[in-house]
């Protein structure tokens, strides 16, 4: 049995699906089991990974644990100590490329590093997945794409090898079920370096309508994010790393293809799968 924290997130949900497809038993943790929509076969457990004792009974007979940093955070050491006490044999943790390739404000990379340190100090065989930006981050553009067909943002030339969340999940599943991945920190990226403009164009191609990116000054974008009610750390999180990736593209690796023995999924693949998220753009009407 494999315990998945962050199971309702972009990666966790895919991990649960893939484990079930492989015939493994997945225990999906959420603070709100009443609204959890997961496939039949997933055992949904109510609990808060940032308060690990809420998961004590769920940890019985658990063989491996997926640590999602936002869900577990500073409680990682306590959760893994409990898991080890109950006989867990492996831990896989999501992390970020910025731990290894600094970009943006250091404090965000340090949060991931603190989780990594708790994982490597846990005494459990561990695998760390240092991920680049998720393709799902571009969902933040959906309201603008639906209403105007124009994405207004800063640092349009910032380039990253954005990753499809299902590839992260597929690597996580390999490491959760197979002890051969223990002791590795993997750098996981998508297969192509793409600017923000490229990503907008590819979403437009998937929708069958040209979309454009309009450059705004970073300060204007920051103010707009805060006016939208986004949490205060979000502008620094996003704009800090984009500023760096505009001068030096983010890292790329072929680790996904090597581990999965197939090409990594592309951003175009992701956009084609997610056209419904972006709705019908302005100016495109069905007849
Ligand atoms: N987005 C990126 O580009 C990127 C890049 C590198 C690494 N990461 C990291 O990858 C991890 C997975 O990201 P994701 O997008 O799949 O999922 P996510 O949005 O981080 O959320 C996963 C789940 O974690 C739970 N959660 C969130 N905040 C929590 C809190 N304060 N306390 C307890 N539980 C909390 C929520 O579950 P319930 O509400 O169901 O309890 C949420 O659905 C995150 O830790 C993220 O920081 C993201």
**Is 169 inside any structural domain?**
yes
**Residue 36 confidence (pLDDT):** 85
> Which residue pairs from 96-102 have beta carbons closer than 8 angstroms and sit at least 24 positions apart in sequence?
96/130, 96/131, 96/132, 97/130, 97/131, 97/132, 97/187, 97/188, 97/189, 97/250, 97/251, 98/241, 99/130, 100/130, 100/185, 100/187, 100/251, 101/187, 101/250, 101/251
The parent domain of residue 112 ranges over 2-134+163-188
Atom 29 of ligand 1, nearest CA residue: 71
Handedness of CA 239, 241, 247, 252 (dihedral sign): negative
How far, in Å, from the CA of 226 to the mean position of ligand 1?
Answer: 20
Q: pTM of the entire structure?
A: 0.96
Handedness of CA 224, 230, 233, 237 (dihedral sign): negative
**Residue 283 confidence (pLDDT):** 52
Are 201 and 211 contacting, i.e. CB atoms less than 8 angstroms apart? yes
Q: Write the CB contacts of 147 (distance below 8 Å, at least 6 apart in sequence).
A: 282
Q: Cα 156 to chain center, whole Å?
A: 21
**Is 279 inside any structural domain?**
no
Atom 30 of ligand 1, nearest CA residue: 71
**Is 156 inside any structural domain?**
no
Around ligand 1, the residues with Cβ closer than 6 Å are: 6, 8-12, 30-32, 48-50, 68-71, 94, 96, 131, 133-134, 137
How far, in Å, from the CA of 225 to the mean position of ligand 1?
Answer: 20
**Is 208 inside any structural domain?**
no
* pLDDT tens track for 187-200: 999 999 999 999 99
**How many domains does the chain contain in total?**
1
Handedness of CA 62, 68, 72, 77 (dihedral sign): positive
**Residue 38 confidence (pLDDT):** 85
**Residue 37 confidence (pLDDT):** 85
**Residue 284 confidence (pLDDT):** 52
CATH number of the domain at 44, please: 3.40.50.720
**Is 242 inside any structural domain?**
no
**Is 284 inside any structural domain?**
no
How far apart CA 267 and CA 198 sit, in angstroms, is: 10
How far, in Å, from the CA of 171 to the mean position of ligand 1?
Answer: 17
**Residue 228 confidence (pLDDT):** 86
Q: Among residues 198, 222, 225, which one has the least CA distance to residue 143?
A: 225
How far, in Å, from the CA of 73 to the mean position of ligand 1?
Answer: 10
**Is 248 inside any structural domain?**
no
Q: Cα 104 to chain center, whole Å?
A: 17
**Is 86 inside any structural domain?**
yes
How far, in Å, from the CA of 12 to the mean position of ligand 1?
Answer: 8
User: Residue ranges of the chain with pLDDT lower than 50?
Assistant: 285-287
Atom 17 of ligand 1, nearest CA residue: 9
**Residue 279 confidence (pLDDT):** 84
Testing ligand 1's pocket by substitution, the residue of 42, 70, 190 carrying the most ligand atoms inside 8 A of its CB is: 70
């Amino acid at each position: 049995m494999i315990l998945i924290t962050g199971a309702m997130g972009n990666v966790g949900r895919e991990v649960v699906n893939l484990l079930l497809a492989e015939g493994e038993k997945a225990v999906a943790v959420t603070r709100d089991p009443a609204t959890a929509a997961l496939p039949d076969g997933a055992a949904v457990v109510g609990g808060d990974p940032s308060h690990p004792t809420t998961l004590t009974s769920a940890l019985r007979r658990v063989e491996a644990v997926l640590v999602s940093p936002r869900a577990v955070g500073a409680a990682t050491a306590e959760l893994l100590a409990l898991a080890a006490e109950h006989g867990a044999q492996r831990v896989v943790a999501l992390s970020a490329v910025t731990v290894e390739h600094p970009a943006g404000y250091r404090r965000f990379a340090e949060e991931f590093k603190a989780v990594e340190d708790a994982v490597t100090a846990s005494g459990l065989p561990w695998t760390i997945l240092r991920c680049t930006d998720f393709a799902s981050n571009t969902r933040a553009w959906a309201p603008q794409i639906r209403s105007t067909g124009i994405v207004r943002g800063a640092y349009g030339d910032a380039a990253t090898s954005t990753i499809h969340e299902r590839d992260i999940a597929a690597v996580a599943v390999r490491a959760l079920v197979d002890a051969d991945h223990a002791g590795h920190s993997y750098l996981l990226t998508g297969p192509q370096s793409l600017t923000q403009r490229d990503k907008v164009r590819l979403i437009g191609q998937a929708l069958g309508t040209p979309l454009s990116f309009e450059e705004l000054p970073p300060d204007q974008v920051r103010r707009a994010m805060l006016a939208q009610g986004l949490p205060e750390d979000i502008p620094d999180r996003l704009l800090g790393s984009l500023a760096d990736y505009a001068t030096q593209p983010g890292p790329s690796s072929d680790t996904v293809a090597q581990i999965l023995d197939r090409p990594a999924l592309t951003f175009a693949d992701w956009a084609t799968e997610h056209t419904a998220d972006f709705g019908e753009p302005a100016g495109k009407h069905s007849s």
